[in-house]
């Protein structure tokens, strides 16, 4: 057997073995259920919209005080979160599965982390805190389909 043929055969065997091994990106995930994940994503939309609207009504510092921008950061993030949930739900509804939506989820999760780490997050009051809790409850349900840790590394 020539060395080129041996290398080709080895490459073929390695390729077959790689295909038979579960993808590390999906290892440890909850088994994909398109209908369930789509339903959860569709629940994220109104809960993120409620959070955004509550953030818009959240009392902030007086304009001109130099501190008025503090609340604006969370308002902007909450609006972006709403847009991201709409995008994720839309793609899932048209049949896009894990492979086509995982990056959307990861971006959304990163924004959730940013919101949780925002210096003004702890200053939220009712009804904003309830709106956030409602959003986060659904986020925890969808997380295991995209993240092996679930929502374990993001805490409200």
What's the CATH code of the domain at 130? 1.20.120
Question: Is residue 6 situated within a structural domain?
Answer: no
Question: Is residue 95 situated within a structural domain?
Answer: yes
Question: Is residue 18 situated within a structural domain?
Answer: no
Output the CA–CA distances (angstroms, integers) from residue 151 to 16, 43, 90, 94, 134, in the order listed. 34, 16, 22, 25, 14
Q: What is the mean pLDDT of each run of 10 residues along the chain (156 residues)?
A: 47 43 71 98 98 91 60 91 98 98 97 93 94 97 92 60
CA 108 to chain CA mean position, Å: 4
**pLDDT of res. 64:** 60
**CA-based nearest residue to 120, from 64, 65, 78:** 78
Give the predicted TM-score (pTM) of the model.
0.79
**pLDDT of res. 150:** 75
Question: Is residue 91 situated within a structural domain?
Answer: yes
**pLDDT of res. 20:** 41
**pLDDT of res. 151:** 65
Which position has the token pair 């041996």? 6
**pLDDT of res. 65:** 62
Question: Is residue 46 situated within a structural domain?
Answer: yes
SS3 105: helix
Question: Is residue 15 situated within a structural domain?
Answer: no
- Quick one: angle between helices 98-117 and 128-142, nearest 10? 150
Domain count, the chain: 1
CB 84 within 8 A of CB 111: yes
**pLDDT of res. 154:** 60
Output the CA–CA distances (angstroms, integers) from residue 112 to 74, 101, 144, in the order listed. 11, 17, 15
Q: Which domain holds residue 91?
A: 31-145
């Amino acid at each position: 057997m020539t060395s080129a043929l041996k290398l080709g055969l080895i490459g073929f065997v390695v390729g077959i073995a790689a295909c038979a091994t579960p993808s590390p990106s999906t290892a440890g995930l909850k088994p994909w259920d398109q209908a369930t994940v789509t339903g959860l994503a569709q629940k994220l939309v109104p809960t993120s919209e409620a959070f955004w609207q509550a953030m818009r009504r959240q009392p902030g510092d007086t304009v001109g005080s130099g501190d008025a921008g503090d609340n604006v950061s969370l308002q902007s993030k909450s609006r972006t979160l709403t847009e991201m949930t709409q995008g994720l739900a839309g793609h899932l509804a048209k049949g896009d599965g894990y492979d086509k939506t995982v990056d959307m989820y990861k971006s959304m999760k990163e924004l959730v982390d940013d919101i949780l780490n925002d210096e003004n997050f702890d200053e939220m009051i009712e009804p904003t805190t309830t709106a956030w809790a409602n959003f986060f409850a659904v986020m925890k349900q969808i997380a295991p389909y995209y993240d092996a840790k679930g929502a374990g590394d993001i805490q409200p």
